[in-house]
């Protein structure tokens, strides 16, 4: 039996405190900040990397924090700071450089002036922004441990009772193993989540809800590597003209053919002293992945980009690193349908308000992951945190009510998000001309029809996603409705044509 005294002890041990977050990426740090702002204390974040702004050349991609992600930065009062370290979508200039050196700069068209301004910044700048907020304002509630890797999670019974607790083993920097016994364990540890994999093992005999379900898209499994270029790199051999940090570049290559053609995509940066990252995204059988050493890299790039002074902008060390790097592959769009687990607790405990069992919850890439086609990786992770905050508010921070509520609120969006990632814009990497053409016809048809008959047709999914007031689920329903209408109209058109042909045939004979 749980006595009043025991409850008081439990409450002070558990309620709104003793949280362990695995993963110090955007989702992990954002969850820590959200809980601290709600009044939770004793929050520990584990991050296996050495620092918040740890630089990994092949993970140096840029985020676009849109209105959806800003629901979280607004909640924390961070949007103003975000705007100061980012390039805004209203000031986004793109310069195309052709193989003959000709250049054209254009301003990215504003899709809808009523949408919130979005902000572009490197991943490490965004993670650092969240970490500095912790350091500045929440040190008394949040501890971030770097070089700390969660290696094992166990359930253990308390004194042979039915009550289960968590036990988490962590490898630390000095090689020692530290054990945590959190009340709430949060899995924000990305695609290969240790937390989700543990839940999958525990749940195996009864269900597969912690298994990722895969929905292959036309961009999944493309291979990528990042070439790091100096800040303000020269654009011509004379060294008279230099790249501008706040301008994006699309540098077209001279080589032709599926296995040889290549281009460089460089996103803008606010900080003029930061190195630039050129993304190279190609099929896994492309020649570029066969370059083995510095000289091969120079030879290939000089042939591919005759318009650029390659040896001036790619250092021998960077060429060697590029040749040796494994790069990465775009993930297949995927989600898992289990977003939480509540541990067993004494029945009596349930009868006492605010006395919950320990629980585990998953957010971010640990539950939904996809290629970067729709720019929603970080925004959806921040929206997960925002929804968790709403679930906590609606259930008075009681885990036994919050965790199922979070799952029921977020799972429909998670599924819709992955379906959208599968179809919304997978042809943007110049993979195949015919496929791209068909996709663009479909895209412009929807755009045109939505402008002419807005009450019947919705704009393409890629535009709808920019509207943060619509949930992913609402967007998916709108997209499907337009698809069905287009099918019905094409069938009517086809039947009409057939009828005409038949009538002509009848008239002839
Ligand atoms: C090539 C590429 C380009 C992308 N481009 C974009 C883009 O343009 N826009 C966009 O919005 N999204 C993009 N994404 C996706 C985006 O990076 C993710 O959606 C986003 O980072 C999710 O944040 P997260 O915190 O859930 O996971 P992550 O960013 O993966 O963070 C997980 C963290 O957990 C840590 N960790 C993992 N396991 C452990 C462990 N056992 N113990 C301790 N720490 C651990 C990791 O070191 C990592 O820091 C891209 C992804 C890729 C691969």
Dist CA 228 CA 230 (whole Å) = 7
- Kind plus residue range of the DSSP H or E element containing 33: helix 26-37
**378 in ligand 1 pocket by Cβ < 6 Å?**
yes
* 21, 24, 25, 148, best to mutate for ligand 1 pocket (most atoms within 8 Å of CB): 25
* 190, 194, 363, best to mutate for ligand 1 pocket (most atoms within 8 Å of CB): 190
**427 in ligand 1 pocket by Cβ < 6 Å?**
no
- Kind plus residue range of the DSSP H or E element containing 178: strand 177-180
- pLDDT one-digit tens code per residue, 410-434: 999 999 999 999 999 888 887 777 8
**187 in ligand 1 pocket by Cβ < 6 Å?**
no
**What's the 491 CA to ligand 1 centre distance in angstroms?**
44
Question: Does residue 193 surpass a pLDDT of 60?
Answer: yes
Q: Which pLDDT value is given to residue 111?
A: 65
**31 in ligand 1 pocket by Cβ < 6 Å?**
no
- pLDDT one-digit tens code per residue, 3-42: 333 333 334 445 688 999 999 999 999 999 999 999 999 9
Q: Which pLDDT value is given to residue 59?
A: 75
For residue 432, the cross-strand partners are: none
Q: Which pLDDT value is given to residue 94?
A: 95
Atom of ligand 1 nearest to the CA of 46: 43
Coil, helix or strand for 328? strand
**134 in ligand 1 pocket by Cβ < 6 Å?**
no
Q: Which sign, positive or negative, has the C-alpha torsion 132, 137, 139, 143?
A: negative
**122 in ligand 1 pocket by Cβ < 6 Å?**
no
- Beta strand extents in 47-135 (DSSP E only): 62-65, 87-88, 93-97, 103-107, 119-122
Q: Which pLDDT value is given to residue 255?
A: 95
* Structure tokens given for 363: 């957010």
**What's the 25 CA to ligand 1 centre distance in angstroms?**
6
**372 in ligand 1 pocket by Cβ < 6 Å?**
yes
- pLDDT one-digit tens code per residue, 436-460: 888 889 999 999 999 999 999 999 9
Q: Which residue has the tokens 């496929």?
A: 435
- The single-letter DSSP state of residue 115 is S
* 372, 382, 462, 472, best to mutate for ligand 1 pocket (most atoms within 8 Å of CB): 372
- pLDDT one-digit tens code per residue, 59-81: 778 999 999 999 999 999 999 99
**61 in ligand 1 pocket by Cβ < 6 Å?**
yes
* ∠ CA 447-453-456, rounded to 5°: 95
**281 in ligand 1 pocket by Cβ < 6 Å?**
no
Q: Which pLDDT value is given to residue 14?
A: 59
* 222, 378, 426, best to mutate for ligand 1 pocket (most atoms within 8 Å of CB): 378
For range 380-400, the mean pLDDT: 97
pTM: 0.92
Atom of ligand 1 nearest to the CA of 29: 25
**28 in ligand 1 pocket by Cβ < 6 Å?**
yes
Atom of ligand 1 nearest to the CA of 151: 41
Question: Does residue 351 surpass a pLDDT of 70?
Answer: no
Q: What's the whole-number average pLDDT of the chain?
A: 91
For residue 279, the cross-strand partners are: 226, 265
Taking CA atoms only, the protein residue closest to ligand 1 atom 41 is: 150
- Which range in 106-110, 261-265, 346-350 is most confidently predicted, on average pLDDT? 261-265
* Structure tokens given for 109: 């068209």
Atom of ligand 1 nearest to the CA of 194: 41
Helix, strand, coil % in the chain, rounded to nearest 5: 40, 20, 40
* 31, 49, 61, 145, best to mutate for ligand 1 pocket (most atoms within 8 Å of CB): 61
Q: Are 195 and 205 in contact (CB under 8 A)?
A: no
* Structure tokens given for 71: 């629901």
For range 383-391, the mean pLDDT: 98
Q: Are 170 and 46 in contact (CB under 8 A)?
A: yes
């Amino acid at each position: 039996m749980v006595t009043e005294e025991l409850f008081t002890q439990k409450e002070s041990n558990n309620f709104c405190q003793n949280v362990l977050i695995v993963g110090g990426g955007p989702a992990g740090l954002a969850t820590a900040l959200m809980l601290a702002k709600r009044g939770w204390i004793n929050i520990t974040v584990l991050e296996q990397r050495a620092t918040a702004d740890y630089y990994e050349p092949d993970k140096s991609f840029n985020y676009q924090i849109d209105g959806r992600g800003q629901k979280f930065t607004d909640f924390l009062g961070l949007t103003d700071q975000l705007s100061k370290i980012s390039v805004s979508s209203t000031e986004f200039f793109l310069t195309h450089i052709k193989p003959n050196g000709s250049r054209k700069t254009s301003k990215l068209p504003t899709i809808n002036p009523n949408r919130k301004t979005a902000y572009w910044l490197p991943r490490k700048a965004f993670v650092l922004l969240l970490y500095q907020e912790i350091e500045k304002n929440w040190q008394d509630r949040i501890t971030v441990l770097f070089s700390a890797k969660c290696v094992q999670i166990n359930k253990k019974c308390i004194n042979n009772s039915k009550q289960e607790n968590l036990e988490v083993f962590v490898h630390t920097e000095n090689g020692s193993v530290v054990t945590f016994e959190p009340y709430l364990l949060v899995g924000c540890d990305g695609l290969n989540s240790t937390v989700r994999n543990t839940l999958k093992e525990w749940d195996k005999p009864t269900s597969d809800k912690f298994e990722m379900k895969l929905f292959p898209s036309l961009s999944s499994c493309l291979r990528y590597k990042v070439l790091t270029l100096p800040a303000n790199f020269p654009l011509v051999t004379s060294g008279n003209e230099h790249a501008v940090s706040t301008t994006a570049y699309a540098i077209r290559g001279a080589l032709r053919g599926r296995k040889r053609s290549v281009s460089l995509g460089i996103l803008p940066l606010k900080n003029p002293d930061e190195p630039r990252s050129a993304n190279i995204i190609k099929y896994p059988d492309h020649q570029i992945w066969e370059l083995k050493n510095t000289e091969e890299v120079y030879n290939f790039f000089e042939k591919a980009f005759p318009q650029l002074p390659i040896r001036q902008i790619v250092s021998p060390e960077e060429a060697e690193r590029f040749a040796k790097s494994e790069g990465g592959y775009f993930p297949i769009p995927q989600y898992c349908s289990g977003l939480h687990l509540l541990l067993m607790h004494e029945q009596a405990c349930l009868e006492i308000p605010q006395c919950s069992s320990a629980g585990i919850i998953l957010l971010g890439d640990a539950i939904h992951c996809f290629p970067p086609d729709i720019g929603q990786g970080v925004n959806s992770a921040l929206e997960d945190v925002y929804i968790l905050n709403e679930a906590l508010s609606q259930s008075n921070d009681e885990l036994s009510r919050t965790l199922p509520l979070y799952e029921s609120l977020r799972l429909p969006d998670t599924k819709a998000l992955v379906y959208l990632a599968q179809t919304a814009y997978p042809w943007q990497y110049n993979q195949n001309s015919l496929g791209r053409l068909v996709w663009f016809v479909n895209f412009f048809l929807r755009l045109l029809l939505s402008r002419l008959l807005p009450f019947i047709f919705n704009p393409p999914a890629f535009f709808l996603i920019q509207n943060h007031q619509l949930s992913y689920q609402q967007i998916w329903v709108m997209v499907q409705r337009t698809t069905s209408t287009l099918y019905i109209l094409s069938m009517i058109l086809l039947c009409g044509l057939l009828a005409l042909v038949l009538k002509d045939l009848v008239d002839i004979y």
